[in-house]
Amino acid sequence: MSPDAASTLESPLRAWSASVCAGIAGLGLLSLRPDLERDLFAQGAARVAGFLTGAPVFPVDGGWQLPLAGGPVVVTADCSGTDFFLLGAVLMTRLLLRRGARVWLAVPGGLFAAVPFTLGVNGLRVVAVLQLHHWVLPHLPPVYGPFLHLVVGTAVFLPCLILLHLASEHHARPRFSRPHSR
């Protein structure tokens, strides 16, 4: 094991610091390339949702449209899941560091690994929101729509982040060495 990897394993603070650097690097990338929100993350989520529902995906002004029976749905940059991507990049980087990766490999590795993870989870969220619009929202006053949209997003994103955190905390090898207390 390299000295860089060994020192990362011995220092939880160093691992979290490097992980936060991955989040900051991802934020910088999204600031430099705002088109990634629409052209990578929104399009990717729409394509995953289209694959899962069997609906075709078409580019439209401001996003990607899925023409469904209940009416067309447009996945926009607001639906891109880039905040989830940043959190996922932080946790993926930490997972890689816990597995013994060098910092200079873990940061870009965490960023790259977070992209397909984000697209898959956000595609599931889009499908869940589509089902919400089809089955639940027609029976409620329109004022509940934005709140329920937020609740469904939280119900999909939060468990996935918790599972990713558990993977980085408990299932990664080797683990941080902790002194025994008496």
Q: What angle do CA 27, 32, 77 make, to 5 degrees?
A: 70
178 domain-assigned: no
Give the model's pLDDT for residue 73.
85
Tokens matching residue 117: 């993870």
Domain for residue 181, yes or no?
A: no
Q: Supply the pLDDT for residue 9.
A: 47
pLDDT at res. 81: 94
Q: What is the pLDDT of residue 180?
A: 58
Angle between helices 3-10 and 82-98 (to 10 degrees): 110
* Per-residue tens of pLDDT for the chain, all 182 residues: 555 555 444 577 888 889 999 999 999 999 999 999 999 999 999 999 999 999 999 999 989 999 876 678 899 999 899 999 999 999 999 888 888 888 899 999 999 999 999 999 999 999 998 888 888 888 999 899 889 889 999 999 999 999 998 887 775 555 555 565 55
Does some domain include residue 124?
yes
The structure tokens 């995953």 sit at 48
What sections of 54-144 are H helices per DSSP? Answer: 82-98, 103-135
Q: pLDDT value at position 8?
A: 45
How far is it, in rounded angstroms, from Cα 6 to Cα 73? 49
For residue 90, the enclosing domain spans: 3-171
| Alpha-helical regions (H) of 33-102 | 35-36, 43-53, 82-98
Amino acid, single-letter form, for residue 74:
V
Q: How many CB atoms are closer than 10 A to CB 32? A: 9
Residue 104 neighbours by CB distance under 10 Å:
10
How many residues in total does the chain contain?
182
Our count of domains for the chain comes to 1
Classify residue 177: in a domain, yes or no.
no
